[in-house]
Amino acid sequence: MSDWYYEVSTGRVTRGKVPGVFDRMGPYPSEEAARDALALVRERNEAADEAEREQA
């Protein structure tokens, strides 16, 4: 099992599924990727916002 998850409420990174489907993000392929989960979401949101502004 190589799936990593980021727990939003605690900021903890875990390997394998843990209880709390609404509190975790993932799976990610590595511990580092899971640790960077919020930064990745932020980047994707900024890109989507920019694309939306360009279409308006």
Q: Give per-residue pLDDT as tens, 22-56.
A: 999 999 999 999 999 999 999 999 999 999 999 98
Buried b (16+ CB within 10 A) or exposed e, 11-29: eebbeeeeeeeeebebbbe
> Is the C-alpha dihedral spanning 21, 26, 32, 38 positive or negative?
negative
Tokens describing residue 33: 């990727």
Whether residue 1 is predicted with pLDDT greater than 80 in this model: the reply is no
What is the reported pTM? 0.77
Q: Where are the domains of the chain?
A: 4-55
